[in-house]
Amino acid sequence: MSINAREFYRNGPAHRLEHASSFASIRRQFDFRSIEIGRWVTNVERDRAATLFHDALCDLMMILEGTETLISLRGSLALQYGSGGRPGVSAHYDPRQRSFALAKNAGPGSIAHEWFHAFDHYIAGKCFRALPVGMFASAAWLADASAIAHPLNQRLWQCFKAVLLQPEGDQPSELFKHSAAMDKQLGQLYYSRPEELCARAFEAFVQDANITNHFLVKGSKASPEAERGLYPQGEQRERINRRFGTYFSSLGEALRRETAPSA
């Protein structure tokens, strides 16, 4: 089953003036390092996917109050559609290649989660010193890695704290407890990993925004995972959303100042 634009609900501003998109125009706009299309993707499937990707990435940029540079992580991120993924996995971020792969038959809502993995990996070297290759900033924060002092970093650490810990201290958050219980039930270590907790919390933040795009994110409110407490709920969700909102709006402002023409 291939991607069909009609399968995904969206309610947001027009980004393309009703013109069809292409992966070439996506690469030009956002300056991705590369975009690779799988050999088994037909031209029709490619064009439908490009339209969905384009709207999703533009919606994400607006939700984050960011820039194209943020979405492509300063041109360091590569995209793959119908190529480069893992068997049985609809979407995957590979830290070794700094690439985000989406399968041809991917389900809805994968982009926000995997983009945050890419961001979490990219920003780690800007927040902490001497990290192992492939480590995420969220995991480094929880491990008390050597921090780089900066106001933006402080705001990001507040996001991690809101996701991983109780507000009054250093005890695990409700989200972590639910996730650890699920891992114990399944005999694995996945849902309670800090990078997965933060990616799911980011999904919730994006889904709670005024723009709705089910190709970008879906499932943080009504899904089997949400029913099991694997997404933030209630007051914790509100607190996380405020923290992410403060961080990304501040980051976007800094990026715009950086690119603004000098007087």
Strand 99-102 with 91-94, pairing: antiparallel
- Give bridge partners of residue 79 from the DSSP assignment: 35, 100
In terms of C-beta density within 10 A (0-12 exposed, 13-18 middle, 19 or more buried), how is residue 38 classed? middle
Packed helices 234-259 and 194-207: angle between N→C axes, nearest 10 degrees? 80
122 with 94: CB under 8 angstroms? no
What the block records as the tokens of 102 is 């989406």
123 with 100: CB under 8 angstroms? no
Alpha helices in 89-227 (DSSP H): 111-127, 137-142, 151-164, 174-186, 194-207, 224-227
The DSSP symbol for 5 reads G
pLDDT per residue rounded down to tens, the chain (263 residues):
344 445 688 888 888 766 678 999 999 999 999 999 999 899 998 998 899 999 999 999 999 999 999 999 999 999 999 875 555 567 889 999 999 988 877 656 889 999 999 999 999 999 999 999 899 999 999 999 999 999 999 999 999 999 999 998 789 999 999 999 999 999 999 999 999 999 999 999 999 999 999 999 999 998 999 999 999 999 999 999 999 999 999 999 999 998 776 55
Cα dihedral 199, 201, 206, 207 sign: positive
Q: Would you tell me how many other CB atoms lie within 10 Å of the CB of residue 184? A: 12
The predicted structure's pLDDT at residue 128:
97
CA distance 178 to 244: 21
Amino acid, single-letter form, for residue 237: R
| Distance in angstroms between the alpha carbons of the first and the last residue of the chain | 53
The backbone torsions φ and ψ at residue 99, rounded to the nearest 5 degrees and listed phi first, read -130, 145
124 with 113: CB under 8 angstroms? no
- How far from 185 is each of 86, 122, 190, 196, 223, CA to CA, in Å? 24, 32, 12, 17, 18
The DSSP symbol for 131 reads P
> Residue 248: in which H helix or E strand, if any?
helix 234-259
3-state secondary structure 234-246: HHHHHHHHHHHHH
CA distance 214 to 111: 10
pTM of the model: 0.93
CA distance 149 to 171: 24
